[in-house]
Chains A and B, each alone.
Chain A
Amino acid sequence: MAELIVISTLNGVLYGMLLFLLSSGLTVIFSMMGVLNFAHASFYMLGAFFGYQLTRWIGFWPALVLAPLLVGAIGMAVERYGLRNTHKHGHVAELLLTFGLAFAIEEIVSMIWGKSPVDYRVPASLDFPAFTVFSTNYPAYKIFMLIVSVAVFVALLAVLKRTRVGLIVQAALTHPSMVGHLGHNVGRVFMIVFGVGSALAGLAGVIAGPSLVTQSDMAALLGPILFVVIVFGGLGSLPGAFIASLAIGLIQTFAVALNGSLASAFGPLDPSMGPSVLTDIWNVTIAQIAPILPYVLLVLILIVRPMGLLGTRET
C-alpha cells in the first residue's frame, strides 16, 4: 500500500506538471487574447513527433532544444497569419479557426507518421533506474521529466514576476488596450506569447513522447483534459491552472492504480438479477472510470463554483 502511494504520488505529480506545462500556455493565451486555443494539444503532439524525428536524425539532446523552437515558430505563424486576420470576425471565429487547425494537424501527422504509435524511445543516457522504492525501480527518465517541468515552471514564474516583459504580459492580461495606449506593440506581445505557449506545449510533447505513447490521436486524447484543467482552475488564473493540473494529475494517476469496485467492497450482486445498469456500475473498477473522472470534476465545479477554483471572472 505504501509503495502504491509513493509511486502514484510521484507519477501523479509528474503528470500534473506535464499538464501544467500545457495549461499554463493555454490559460495565458486565453486571458490575454480571449482565444481558447483548441490546437494547443496539437502543438504538444507536434512537439512529440518533431522530437521523435529529430532524435532519429540528430539525437535526443539537440531535438530537446530544436523541436520546441520549431513548434514555437509554427505557433507564431498561426497567430500572425491566422488568428490576427480572423480577429475581426470575433472570438467564435478564432476558436473555430483553432478547431479547424487541430483537425488539420491531426490529419497531417497521421499522413506523415501513420496512425499507429511510433517507436520514440527514452535516450540511452537516461535509460536506467534512478532509485528503487520498495521493490519498484523508478526510471531516471521520469525524474528527468520532473526536473525539466519544474525548471520551466520556475523560469516562467521568474520571467512573469521579475522581468519587464513579464510585467507587460501581466498588464496585457487584464488591460490590453491600456497597454497598447502606453506604446507597447500589443500585437507583437500576443505573437510572442502565443509562440512561447506553443513552444512550451512542444517541449511537453518532446519529453512526454518517450514515456507516454506517441501517436496521432494523442492530441485528441489530451485536449479535452486541458480544457477541464483551465476551467477547473478558473479561466485566466495561472495559480488556479497549477493547482488544477496537480489535482487532476494526482486524481487520475491514483484512480488508474486502484482496482477496487463496489463489487469488491460489498460483494457481488445476486446473479439472478441479470445484466442491468446497476450491475455495470457495481462491477466497474476505479481504474476503469479514471478517464471520466476529470469530466465529472468539471461538472461538479460548475455546479458548486462556476468561475472555477481561483477564477475571478464570471464570463
Chain B
Amino acid sequence: MTKASSSAPKLLIERSGPDFGFYGIWLAAAIALVVLPLIFPSGGSLTTFSLIGIAIIFALSYNILLGQTGLLSFGHAVHYGLGGFLAVHAMNAVANYNWPIPLPFIPLFGGIGGLAFAIVVGWVMTKRAGTVFAMISLGVGELVASSSLILRSVFGGESGITTDRTALPHMFGWTFGPQIQVYYLIAFWVVISAIAMYALTRTPLGRICNAVRDNPERVEFIGYDPHVVRYLAYGFSGFFAGIAGGLTAINFEIANSAYLGATQSGLVLFATFIGGTAYFFGPILGAILVTYLQLGLANVTTVWQLYFGIIFIGIVMFAPGGIAGLLMMHRPLIRAKTLGMVIPSYLVAAIPTLALATGVTLAIETLARYLESEGESNVINMFGIPLDATKPTTWVIAAVLIVGGYLICRITWRRITEAWDRAATAARDRGHLA
C-alpha cells in the first residue's frame, strides 16, 4: 500500500525545505517522555513506562530486519538476551574493579554484546532470506537458549545473574536507585536509539536494505551484494536489540535465560507486526500496545496470551499493514477532505463489531472459568455486569453475540468497503493518491 504508481493523475508536489511538522513530532515525543512521569508519578505507571520504553527500542530494532530488510526472524531475543547478560557482567565488573564507567553508559555494553553475536553468526544466517532465514533464526535462537542453561558460569543457570545498579559510579549525583531515575535513563536511550535508527533508514544503506527486501535480484544487477546488505542490517539490528537488553538488565538488576527464549522473540514479533512494519512509527505503537496489554490483561484474565494470539491472527488476516498501516490509509482521505464519507459507515459497523468482540471474549472467559472451576469464583464481571459461567444463560448470551455480531458485521463491513471506494475515488479525483 506504500507503492505509489506513476500512472496516477496529477500528484500534488510535497512542500520542500525544512519540514517543521517532522521535527515537531520528534520534539513533542521527547517532551512527552519528560513530562509523562510528572503526570503519572505512581510507582506502577513508572514501571510500565520503563518497560514500554525498552519494548520500543527492541521493536524498532526488530523492524530493521522485518520491515526494512524483509528478514523474518524468530530468534531476535538472542541479541536482546546476550546484550542483557553482557550488561550485567559489565556492571558487576565495573563495581568490582572500580572502573570509572557510570551507569548510563552500560547499555552500550549491551549493544556490543548483541552486535558481537550478530557479527559471529550473521554471515552464515543471512546467506539466504525468506523462509530459510526464518527457520535458521529459530534454530540459532533455540541453540543459544539451550546452551545458556549449560554454560552456568556465564548465564547463571536457571536463576540467572544478579547485579546492583547503585554500586556503579554515580553521574550528576544520581544514584539510579529510584525507579524515576531509571525511567529517565531509559527515556534518554529511547530518544537516542530512535533517532539513530530513524537516521539509519535515511542513509544509502537503509535505502539499499529496502531494495534488498523488494527485489534482491535487481540489487545484484546494480552492483550490491544482497548478502552483505542483509549482514549489515542484521548487525545494526543486533546492536540496538542489545541496547534494549542492557536497559532491561539495568531495570530489573538481573539477567536470566528467559530473556533469550522463544517467548521473548515471539513477543517482539507480535509487537512489531501488530504496530505495522511499513512505517517507522509502527513498531512504536505496537510496543506500547503489546506491553500495555501484557501488563493490563494479565491482571484481569488468566488466558491473556490467547487474546494476543487472536489479535495477531486478526491483524495478519485482515490488516497486514498493522495499526500504522490502517492509520496511514486515511491520510490521503484527510488531505482530500473526503474522510467524512467513510466515518458514518465506521460508526455503524462499530456496534456489531463490538458485539462480536464482546461475544468472543465472553465465550473465552466463560470457558476458562468453567474449566478452572474448583474453588475459584465463577462470576465474570463484564462491563460491571456479573455473569455466572456455570449458568446456561451466559453461554446463550455469548452465542447470540457471536452469531448475531458476525452476521451484521458482514453487512456493515461490506458497506465500509463501498464507502471507502467512493471516498478513495473522490480523493483521487482531487489529486491525492489513495
Contacts and interface: CB of A to CB of B under 8 A. Distances in A.
A235 B139 contact: no
Interface stretch (B179-187, B249-257, B313-321): B313-321
B280 to A, nearest CB: 19
Contacts of A127: none
A272 interface: no
Contacts of B136: 231, 298, 302
A277 B139 contact: no
A30 B135 CA distance: 12
Interface string A105-140: 001100110000000000000000000000000000
B379 interface: no
A30 B303 CA distance: 31
Given A299-B124, A315-B130, A224 B142 contact: yes
B146 A277 contact: no
Contacts of A298: 136, 139-140, 143
A296 B131 CA distance: 19
A89 interface: yes
Interface stretch (A17-25, A58-66, A285-293): A285-293
Contact of A279 (B153, B310, B317): B153
Nearest to B72: A92
A279 B310 CA distance: 46
- Give chain B's interface secondary structure class: helix
A279 B154 CA distance: 11
A295 B143 contact: yes
A100 B315 CA distance: 10
Nearest to B155: A280
A107 B305 contact: yes
A166 interface: no
A65 to B, nearest CB: 26
Nearest to A102: B309
Interface residues of A, number: 50
A14 B376 CA distance: 43
Q: Of residues A103, A306, A315, which shows the largest number of chain B Cβ atoms within 10 Å of its Cβ?
A: A103
A289 B309 CA distance: 32
Contact of A103 (B72, B142, B151, B309): B309
B316 A86 contact: yes
A153 interface: no
A87 to B, nearest CB: 11
B320 A89 contact: yes
A209 B9 CA distance: 62
Interface string B121-146: 10011011111101110111011001
A91 interface: yes
Interface of A: 30, 34, 36, 82, 85-86, 89, 91-93, 95-97, 99-101, 103-104, 107-108, 111-112, 220, 224, 227-228, 230-231, 235, 275-277, 279-281, 284, 288-289, 291-292, 294-296, 298-299, 302-303, 306, 314-315
8 contacts: A91-B131, A100-B309, A111-B306, A224-B138, A277-B153, A295-B146, A298-B136, A315-B130
Interface of B: 70, 72, 74, 121, 124-125, 127-132, 134-136, 138-140, 142-143, 146-147, 150-154, 262, 266, 269, 273, 303, 305-306, 308-310, 312-313, 316-317, 320, 364, 367-368, 371
Given A96-B312, A103-B312, A299-B143, 6 more contacts: A95-B134, A99-B266, A224-B138, A275-B152, A281-B150, A295-B140
